[in-house]
Amino acid sequence: SEAADQLGVMHSMEAMKAIMAIEYVAPMSDENVTVTDTEFSNVAVRLYLPRKPSDGLRRAVVYFHGGGWCVGQAGMKSYDHLTRWTSDRLNAVVVSVDYRLAPKYHFPVQFEDAYSVTKFFLQSSVLSQYGVDPDRVCVAGDSAGGNLAAAVAQQLLKDSEVKTRLKAQALVYPALQTLDLNLPSYQENDNKPLLPRLFMVKFWSEYFTSDSSLREAMASNRHVPVESSHLFQFVNWSNFLPEELKKGHVYTGPAFGSPELAQKYPGFLDPRAAPLLASDAQLRGLPLTYILTCGHDVLRDDGVMYAQRLRAAGVPVTHDHAKDAFHGAMMFVLSPAELAVGHRLLNRYIRWLNENL
């Protein structure tokens, strides 16, 4: 995909989408789950309805796939497996959201798609149509999808039109902040497979714009203007990371950049794109939370800091840290050893949902 970009054939993210298209599977029902592609609030979704009988109203999960807001889809084999398995194991309705992607669409489109689907689904008439218990609905997602799930959960607290409240949110190695792209986890996993630092920087910048100046500023960690310096209190890892994760790293404070980028692309300072930027008061009232982080992951510290801040705000949190796992381990398996790790993480995620939703 990078070669296609360099040669001027197509944008790297469009090339990656084309490559990943081979992973697409059509909606196929089986003896346990009925699967259909449809739309909620004019946004494409893949809907999973369990076939086994239920004693009463069912649980429900609204799921947002990962892929850096640029690639991925509900119909990818790995996501179809996850959401189908979730529906079957939990006897739950699962809505897997195909939000629009960069580079064709930039923030806030992805968030707005995720939010409009969730808000539509939470209407009492829709919940009733699918036999869902309004007191047992969860939002969930991995990576960029974990970002969307966290942002949706925060926004729902502000929306007086939504009467149904979430029971839980499940965030799997989520991307949660844009301010400091040189956290200890970014430094330690700079060139690790699947999600090296510069790849994550490209995903972040592409979420907001295809203008390379933002990507270059983010790569040097000089993209935040001094006028926004007050936001760094929410991502100051020296206050939120345990000693074992600091590993001798010394917090030096931000190096500020030009205000022009923030004026042109204010999204990277918006809590709807970076949920860790929400104030402590805005975090209070969030639902029961599950956060999975992995040791070999540039996004590790985002999840760890969010868990710490949520606890301080009085939110019940289960933080599951897999020291031996890498970013994407729950979805993408490359060898028998990693397959075992992926299954372990998937079982933990499903077990938590089963016990708490």
CATH number for position 111: 3.40.50.1820
**SS3 (DSSP) at 249:** coil
User: Do 107 and 246 belong together in one domain?
Assistant: no
pLDDT, one tens digit per residue, over 49-65 is 999 999 999 999 999 99
pLDDT, one tens digit per residue, over 276-331 is 999 999 999 999 999 999 999 999 999 999 999 999 999 999 999 999 999 999 98
Tokens of 150: 């966290």
Distance, in Å, from the CA atom of 195 to the CA atom of 220, rounded to the nearest integer, reads 17
- The arithmetic mean of pLDDT across residues 209-229, rounded, is 96
All residues at 6 or more sequence positions from 18 whose CB lies less than 8 Å from its CB, including other chains: 10
C-alpha pair distances (Å), 344 with each of 30, 65, 139, 211, 299: 24, 19, 21, 40, 20
Core vs surface per residue 273-312: b (16+ CB within 10 A) or e: bbbbbbeeeebeebbbbbbbbbebbbbbbbbbbbbbbbee
User: Do 126 and 25 belong together in one domain?
Assistant: yes
- Cβ–Cβ under 8 Å, residues 165 and 287: yes
Distance, in Å, from the CA atom of 36 to the CA atom of 54, rounded to the nearest integer, reads 20
pLDDT, one tens digit per residue, over 147-165 is 999 999 999 999 999 999 9
- Identify the domain containing residue 205 by its residue range: 184-263
**Torsion angle of alpha carbons 28, 34, 38, 44, nearest 10°?**
-70
Question: CA quadruple 196, 201, 207, 212: dihedral positive or negative?
Answer: negative
Tally the domains of the chain: 2
User: Do 192 and 296 belong together in one domain?
Assistant: no
Residue that is last in its domain, among 220, 242, 263: 263
User: Do 160 and 114 belong together in one domain?
Assistant: yes
Residue that is last in its domain, among 213, 239, 263: 263
Q: Which of 38, 131, 45 is nearest to 83 (CA)?
A: 45
User: Do 169 and 237 belong together in one domain?
Assistant: no
Residue 15 has pLDDT above 70, yes or no: no
User: Do 255 and 295 belong together in one domain?
Assistant: no
Q: Which of 209, 208, 137, 145 is nearest to 171 (CA)?
A: 145
Distance, in Å, from the CA atom of 62 to the CA atom of 140, rounded to the nearest integer, reads 6
- The catalytically annotated residue of 1, 78, 143, 185 is 143
Question: What mean pLDDT value characterizes the chain?
Answer: 94
User: Do 217 and 154 belong together in one domain?
Assistant: no
- Verify whether residue 11 is a known catalytic residue: no
**SS3 (DSSP) at 44:** strand
Distance, in Å, from the CA atom of 69 to the CA atom of 106, rounded to the nearest integer, reads 8
Core vs surface per residue 162-182: b (16+ CB within 10 A) or e: eebebbbbbbbbbbbbbbbbb
All residues at 6 or more sequence positions from 115 whose CB lies less than 8 Å from its CB, including other chains: 151, 152, 155
Distance, in Å, from the CA atom of 204 to the CA atom of 179, rounded to the nearest integer, reads 11
- Verify whether residue 142 is a known catalytic residue: no
**SS3 (DSSP) at 326:** strand
Angle, CA 40 vertex, CA 34 and CA 42 arms, to 5°: 135
Q: What percent of the chain has pLDDT over 70?
A: 95
- The catalytically annotated residue of 80, 113, 297, 301 is 297
Distance, in Å, from the CA atom of 294 to the CA atom of 312, rounded to the nearest integer, reads 22
User: Do 133 and 47 belong together in one domain?
Assistant: yes
Q: Which of 267, 241, 215, 246 is nearest to 319 (CA)?
A: 241
Residue that is last in its domain, among 216, 237, 263: 263
User: Do 154 and 283 belong together in one domain?
Assistant: yes
Least confident of 1-10, 16-25, 206-215, 341-350: 1-10
**SS3 (DSSP) at 18:** helix
User: Do 175 and 188 belong together in one domain?
Assistant: no
pLDDT, one tens digit per residue, over 102-128 is 999 999 999 999 999 999 999 999 999
User: Do 171 and 304 belong together in one domain?
Assistant: yes
User: Do 151 and 229 belong together in one domain?
Assistant: no
**SS3 (DSSP) at 277:** helix
DSSP 8-state code for residue 57: P
- Verify whether residue 143 is a known catalytic residue: yes
